[in-house]
Structure 1
Amino acid sequence: MRRVMTNFFIGFAEGWSLAKPYFKSEEKWTAWGLLGTVIGLNLLLVGLNVVLTYWNNDFFNAIQVYDVKTVLTLLYMPLVHIKGKGPMPGFAELVIIYVLIAVYATYLSQMLQIKWRQWMTVHYVENWLRDRAYYNISLAHAPSDVVDNPDQRISEDLNNFTANTLSLGTDFITNVVTLFSFIFVLYAISGSITLLGVTIHGYMLWVAVLYSLVGTGLTHLIGRKLVPLSFNQQKLEANFRYRLVRVRENPEAIALSHGEVEERAELNSSFQFVRDNFWAIMRRTKALNFFTISFTQIANIFPLVVILPRYFAKEIGLGGLSQIPMVFGQVQGALSWFIGSYTNLVTWRATVSRLYGFREAMETARALASGGPRLAQAGDRLTLKDLTLTLPDGRKLLDHASLTLTPGELVTISGPSGAGKSTLFRAIAGIWPFGTGEIERPTGRLLFLPQKPYFPLGTLKRNLAYPDNADRLETKMATETLSAVGLGHLANRLDEVANWGLALSGGEQQRLALARAILAKPDWLFLDEATSALDKKLADDVRAVLLTHLPATTIVAISHHETSNRRIRLEEGTLAAAL
């Protein structure tokens, strides 16, 4: 039990560290104002509940003595003067006020939730993309241990965190205020009882405390294993969803490979983990529900049974018999908040762990951005000085290599698979954090085209302009460039929105990426097997188009074609002129 409680305390500390930035941000006054209003409205509801218990006492006392006038007045009049007790609001008045406060408490809580979620989403997306954290996370030794499915953490976990934190937080504060609002009432109306010669004043209060403490301890004992199970369920659900997305994004490759059987087996196996873990949650929840539901149902009748002896002894009237269980229920419910909220706390704890781990991983990933070879910018040449590149596990791909490329050259880099050609391009681009040495990059714009180009969701025109703004791209220029690379049949689809990574063949995708390079007119163009999906004749034609449209661009290509005036081979950690 101590370990689980420690886990919860750690969760509260982590949860506060996640929540604190928003309440110290530029939106802090709005945030604190809304939070204070929501809490205030909930406290007003607590006050109304106190009034309702006294209204209930007066109402049933009037019924007991057959006072029809007082009963009707309490039901329908806005303000009632009870003899010897002063004014009492009518039920209709209480209901109207209660409904208005309850509705706006929920509305303003939802307003705060969406504002908070929006702020956190913007900042998490920014931190994820800043300093290439999204990329460096993928280079971690064991990313699945800490940062699986960042998309789910940003979309689903942030939503759950803001919603559950507000719900649990306001509910906790309301219960604390409820406890202190009703505890003195219960003590005052409980009277006293004598047991074994000892008189216990306000005994119903001590019964409520004892009942709640026993219930809380047993609830925690039964439900403690739900914390790791809930955390694991979120992870397994996200993994299953990710595999479904992979099938959706690669239908042609799977269909051509007739991989349906393998994919079905993989999806079924992934869901099997989801199902098995959920069964474990079900079994543990069943045991917890057996206790909590029994505890709640017994709590409805328990105070009545305890107070009946005073009623039969005519120490209290029917109103008191009605009021005491209500007040007892409020005190016992406040004391038993942990019991009723246990399942939500478990879910919240799992969400906090995922978000906290994600934030820590992003910070670690951003720190990697400062590593790797030193980048400098000088002159019009590309110079590698004493460059060493390694993999995350420390294996060397390039060992103290030096090279100078001058503008205007057409350079081909070749070498065996896995030798580090693509990693060399990543280092030149400044995104590879593992290595030493220096890279002096030329002034001007450098553009890198990978073997499998990226296509954002949107219009074809947007994909041609990416990462620049599509509004700056003239339609005539876009049409002419498409025709030049053999994609003239797409010219009338510039404003069509589609998933172009799926709509186009591999060869069309590579030609569209090359068209993007022609439109960008970079000073240096780095091609990583950028024509590998084209046949030799089409590849030669496209390269000729590049040379025609980009006469001032220095082109460095990873390729096995020998159509360059300078060939370099990367093998066994060295860069040398190809023979």
Structure 2
Amino acid sequence: MAKRIALKNAFGFARRFAGLAGGHWSGRDRWTVRLLAAALLALTVAQVSVPVMMNLWSQRLFDALEQRAMDRLPVIAAAACGIMLFNIAVTVAHLWVKRRIQFGWRAWLTRRLLDDWLSDGREQALAARPGNHDNPDGRIAEDIRIVTELAIDLGHSLTYCLLLLVSFASILWRLSGTLVVELGGFALAVPGHLLLAALAFSAAGTAAAFAVGQPLVRAAERRQGLEADFRFGLARVRENAPTIARQNGETAERGRMALLFGGVRRGWERQTGALVRVMAFGASYSVLSTVLPILVVAPRYVAGTITLGMMMQTAQAFQQTVAALSWPIDNLATVAQWKASVERVLGLKEALAGIAPLPPVKARIPESLSDGGNTVRKR
């Protein structure tokens, strides 16, 4: 039942987010946006090709070192320079396209929220409406930026990891060979055992990361709310500065700001505690993911069944497969920050949608109208 509720909530959140920001991809400039998205995907594929090329390059390098074939080193070094130049070109182009998409999406969503906020008297009615929609200026200026920038960053990193997983899973399957396990006099052939080990290691790490990281999600959401309350309080002081000065209310306002900043401090400390646990887990996990493949593959090299180059290639393929499967672990805090900002923007949008437009104010027609110094009586 709990899983069903969580799945329902996830689908509901995805539907609300699509209603909030999906119009950018089907609006007036949809073909430009889609062309940029296609270019971003193509450049992501090119990015994935770099570690694949480096994996093949490392095999040739370590095989040449093992065989002391010095004549191969100039060619291997030239290949490394070629890969480096290709990586620079792809990285620069990818950054330019990604940032153009991010700002274009942010500009579209900002215009949409500003139009909803500053129309039909909603900016006045919003303050008196109950609900989670305080600090609209901060939500439009900061949360929309986070929503659009992190959505592209997370989408790119997820796509990159999926492509990386497909590429190195096939390499790891090929390099694993077939492991024969003796069980009670029976020989059991296990193909792709290194890939299975990588999947099991990543699954255990992901499960542990979610257990450790859940408090971080709640702490990030709480801290963003407290930070917004503090910013809203400062903005209120700025707007009401003349009244505060006339009434000598500086002491009271300083006390109120101190209370709000105390909430920020508590939110910061709570998030720090959650981050310490997550970082401790991540540090141990990264070391294990580096050491484990070497220890798993080393017996085959000692037995003489693989070369040094194949051992290093296999270890790197194992590491890249685990890295691709570790996307939830690496991005847990970022997803929490992004989701909290999405909820804040959605809260503002839904509050504005629930405000009926104020009736237009009819201007009173004066008894007499002045026309260039001549008075015209209304008839």
| TM-score w.r.t. length of structure 1 | 0.60
Q: SS of the counterpart of 1:195?
A: strand
**How far 1:156 sits from its partner (Å)?**
0.4
User: In the alignment, which residue of structure 2 is the partner of 1:236?
Assistant: 226
Structure 1 residue 343 displacement after superposition? 0.6
SS in 1 for 2:120: helix
CA contact (8 A) 1:136 1:369 kept: no
TM-fit CA distance, 1:8 = 4.8
Asked if 1:213 corresponds to 2:203, the answer is: yes
Match of 2:252 in 1: 262
Aligned equivalent of 1:369: 357
The structure 2 residue matched to 1:195, chosen from 153, 156, 181, is: 181
Structure (1 or 2) with the greater helix fraction: 2
TM-superposed CA distance for 1:363, in Å, is 0.9
1:38 deviates by 1.0
Residue from 300, 308, 322 that aligns with 1:332: 322
| Equivalent residue letter for 1:296 | S
SS at match of 1:146: coil
**Aligned positions of 1:447-466 closer than 5 A:** none
1:139 maps to: 128
Q: What SS class does the counterpart of residue 60 from structure 2 fall into?
A: helix
Is this contact kept in 2: 1:164–1:348, CA < 8 A? Answer: yes
Residue 370 of structure 2: aligned partner: none
Alpha carbons of 1:227 and 1:13: their partners in 2 closer, same or farther (altered >3 Å)? farther
Q: 1:66 aligns with which of 61, 65, 68?
A: 68
Cα distance, 1:302–1:127 mapped onto 2, change above 3 Å? same
Q: Name the CA shift for 1:116/1:284 in 2 (closer, same or farther; >3 Å).
A: same
What is the CA distance between 1:10 and its match in structure 2?
4.1
- In structure 2, the CA distance between the partners of 1:55 and 1:247, relative to structure 1 (3 Å rule), is same
Change in CA separation of 1:552 and 1:297 when aligned onto 2, cut-off 3 Å: farther
* Structure whose residues are more often strand by fraction: 1
Query: Number of residue pairs matched?
Result: 367
Q: Distance in 1 between matches of 2:12 and 2:147?
A: 16
After TM superposition, the structure 1 = structure 2 runs for residues 275-286 of structure 1, keeping only pairs within 5 Å, are 275-286=265-276
Kept in 1: contact 2:177–2:191 (CA 8 A): yes
Distance between the aligned counterparts of 2:25 and 2:284, measured in 1?
Answer: 40
Give the CA deviation at 1:4.
6.0
Which of the pair has the greater relative contact order for Cα pairs under 8 Å at 6+ separation? 2
1:117 maps to a residue whose letter is R
Equivalent residue in structure 2 for 1:341, among 328, 331, 341: 331
Map 1:399-414 to 2 at 5 A: none
Give the drift of 1:132: 2.4
The match for 1:292 is 282
How far apart in 2 are the matches of 1:304 and 1:298?
Answer: 10
* Other structure's SS at 1:168 match: helix
Aligned to 1:113: 102
CA RMSD of aligned residues (A): 2.3
Q: Amino acid of the residue matched to residue 293 of structure 1? A: A
Contact 1:148 1:235 in 2 (8 A): no
CA distance in 2, matches of 1:7, 1:24: 25
Q: Which residue in the other structure is 1:175 paired with?
A: 161
CA distance in 2, matches of 1:243, 1:135: 18
Amino acid at match of 2:171: V
Aligned amino acid, residue 97 of structure 1: F
Partner of 2:38: 36
1:199 Cα offset (Å): 2.5
Matched-pair contact (CA < 8 Å) for 1:42–1:102: no
| Equivalence for 1:486 | none
C-alpha distance in structure 1 between counterparts of 2:32 and 2:68, whole Å: 53
Structure 1 CA distance for aligned equivalents of residues 265 and 7 of structure 2? 28
SS in 2 for 1:160: helix
TM-score, normalised to structure 2, is 0.90
Conservation of the 8 A alpha-carbon contact between 2:219 and 2:274: no
2: CA distance, partners of 1:148 / 1:249 = 15
Q: Distance in 2 between matches of 1:303 and 1:322?
A: 9
Cα distance in 2 between the residues matched to 1:125 and 1:11: 22
Greater Rg, structure 1 or structure 2?
A: 1
Corresponding letter in the other structure for 2:147: F
Q: Give CA-to-partner distance per residue, 1:110-154, whole Å, 9 cap, x none.
A: 0111111111111110111233222222232x2xx3211111111
Alpha-carbon distance between aligned partners in 1 of 2:335 and 2:171, rounded to the nearest angstrom: 30
1:154 aligns with 2:140: yes
The residue number in structure 1 matching 2:57 is 55
Which residue in 1 is equivalent to 2:18?
16
Helix, strand or coil for the counterpart of 1:134? helix
Is the 1:64–1:318 contact (alpha carbons within 8 Å) kept by the matching residues of 2?
A: yes
Q: How far did residue 43 of structure 1 move? A: 0.8
Distance (Å, rounded) in 2 between the aligned partners of 1:132 and 1:553? 34
Q: In structure 2, what is the Cα distance between the partners aligned to 1:267 and 1:106?
A: 40
With over 3 angstroms needed to count, the CA separation of the structure-2 counterparts of 1:250 and 1:137, relative to structure 1, is closer
How far apart are the structure 1 equivalents of 2:322 and 2:15? 27
Q: Which stretch of structure 1 is more off in the superposition, 128-137 or 271-280? A: 128-137
Residue 5 of structure 1: CA displacement? 6.5
Distance 1:311 1:17, change over 3 A: farther
Q: 1:9 to 1:317 in 2, by over 3 A?
A: farther
Return the alpha-carbon distance in structure 1 between the equivalents of residues 254 and 9 of structure 2. Answer: 38
Q: Is residue 184 from structure 1 mapped to residue 170 from structure 2 by the alignment?
A: yes
* Residue 271 in structure 1 maps to residue 271 in structure 2: no
The 3 A distance-change label for structure 1 pair 195 and 261 is farther
Secondary structure at 2:190's aligned position in 1? strand
Residues 293-324 of structure 1 show CA distances to partners (whole Å, capped at 9, x for unaligned) of 21112111111111111111111111111111
**Partner of 1:199: helix, strand, or coil?**
strand
Query: Which secondary structure does the structure 2 equivalent of 1:220 belong to?
Result: helix
Q: Give me the whole-angstrom Cα distance separating, in 2, the residues matched to 1:15 and 1:299.
A: 35
2: distance between equivalents of 1:224 and 1:553? 74
Structure 1 letter corresponding to 2:173: Y
Q: Say if 1:22 and 1:119, in contact at 8 Å, map to a contact too.
A: yes
Matched, 1:309 2:299: yes
